[in-house]
Structure 1
Amino acid sequence: MKRTGCLLAGVLSLVLAIGAIWFLAGWWGSSEIEEDTSFIVPSGASLTSVADKLGEEGLIADPEGFLLRAKLLGSSDPIMAGEFLLPAGVSNATILDTFQHGEVIRRFVTIPEGLPSVLVHERLMAEEHLTGEIPVPVEGSVLPDTYDFERGEARGAVLARMQAAMQNYLAEAWPKRASDIAVDNIADAVILASIVEKETGVARERRMVAGLYSNRVKDGMLLQADPTIIYPITKGKPLGRRIRQSEIAAINDYNTYTMVGLPKGPITNPGREAIAAVLNPAETSARYMVADGTGGHAFAETLDEHNRNVAKWFEIRRKRGEM
């Protein structure tokens, strides 16, 4: 009887040991995940509903076993909502830890300097991982930058961050403005910066272009900025052709060839550097500029000098076969 009792005890111990190994392996061993997979924990989800969702998506074999092991072996910290990356073969223990302490997957959308609001709207609406509808934002209200977001986030929330970033930057930059700039309020600074943004893509020229247009504003001259002709036609999208004489002569609230002063509003979303250039423009006597054939501009103080620069530009274009 003693030998029988010892044998039964040994068998029981073996069974318990095997059960314990199986139980622990089910927690720290490899999962059913065959390749790196993203998984979304919905807002307000419970661990039970998440376990069921993991099972439905084939990422764990036993939702009830997952829950039992989580209660006995895992942390009691709450799980977070968001999208998480679950690597291939990751253990159930790591899955729970990821939901409790891991990094939510962040996605990114970039708004380049000088992107008009109609294209900001198109870019956000085309982002398939965002949700909801948004109107076309007010021109000049979005700060160009790269913004992160979570999968399933509302487009309105992302747009609000972009607009808050612009307000925050303006609030920081305006007090640092030079004392003799051409504008006396933030709104006009953004309008002038939007012209500077569209008139040059050469970083080293921004302050010079800002100085030139500041001089024209102060002198009451026509700004004669080509992008202000295009904006009422396309809302900032590329025109795709040469500007017509009838469009140059058009009278509206934006065309600076037929009106003195600034247009009624921005013609794009200017970046930090264009705004900074307007708030601290170069000290220059230049009032005129024309393309120089290298991507930049030739600047002039007088109309005669400017006309000579225009003649050089026309000669460059003729050699290129553009005229």
Structure 2
Amino acid sequence: MIRHPSRSAADMPTSTEHCLQTSLVIPSHNRASLIGETVESALAQTHPFASITVVNDGSTDDTLKVLAEFGHRIQVISTQNQGVQAARNIGIAASNCPLVAFLDSDDLLAPTYLDETAGWMVAHPEVDATYNNFLTIEDAHTRPPKLTQASFDWLEGSRRDGDFHLDIPDLLLRSLRFQPLFPSGQMVRRTFLQQHGGYDPRFRGVGSEDWEFTLRVITNGQLALCEKPLVKVRKHAANESKDNVRMRMGETEVLAHCLAHHPSASAFKQEITQSIEERLHAALNSAFDNRDFHSVRHIVAKISSPLPAKTRLKTFISSSPAPVSDWLWHAIQLLSRSGA
């Protein structure tokens, strides 16, 4: 592990007390084209972070060259590629503030993010973690805030305090139906991390790997969500979330782990099990649409609920010899496009 220079306390600008209690962790792997703007947004806060740590997770592009331009204003830690979960944990260990914020290397913070979020956290010591509503930027277009995309009022029944909502009823069940709790903009108390652990590196390469930590916060702590979007999430070709099969299968793995290892989740066993089955069916349908017959056969073996007729047909096609499966797949696509 290579540590690059960090600014000392003497070099640090004066700031409000709550901002000086907050470290920012940015994991990065091959994001040279985006990491510069991400760091700029972190440095452009109305009051500065006590420290900004970028964990360079074995990048092979010009990430380090871009980061070097920021000099002592940030701390850079270079490691062999270990995955984003381990990178976040390395950043946590390198900071010593009571509040730790997170930002993915392709996302952006609003200038008032730290001031508004850390100030609220200091005023609410009973809250273990905050998450942030966010805007999505894709193809140069800014999408509506994430919470508006839910098919129901995700915050209904919660207690509002300024821009933050806490005591959200049935939070685990709501997260199963719609998941707006992303790592970028998340702020967590160090005491919670010390008691319940950081991100789990065992989920490296698993779709939706960060959801495991979020479910741990939901089942073990007090969580609040800032309705005001103080974060921008940038979507691009390299986003792993574009792989629907991988993401849905990852979600099933995370939910199975939650049910097995988070004691309070057992009260929702039926709902979690049903959600796993729904995600398996969604993954199977996406794999079939992609003509990924190997994945269809792999996924169907994990489904325990009765298969509807269309799924049985897709399974039959996926198990047929190559010339037959390809012909039948094309026939199904033509029928689907014709509305039959």
TM-score, normalised with respect to structure 1: 0.21
- What TM-score, normalized to structure 2? 0.20
Greater strand share, structure number: 2
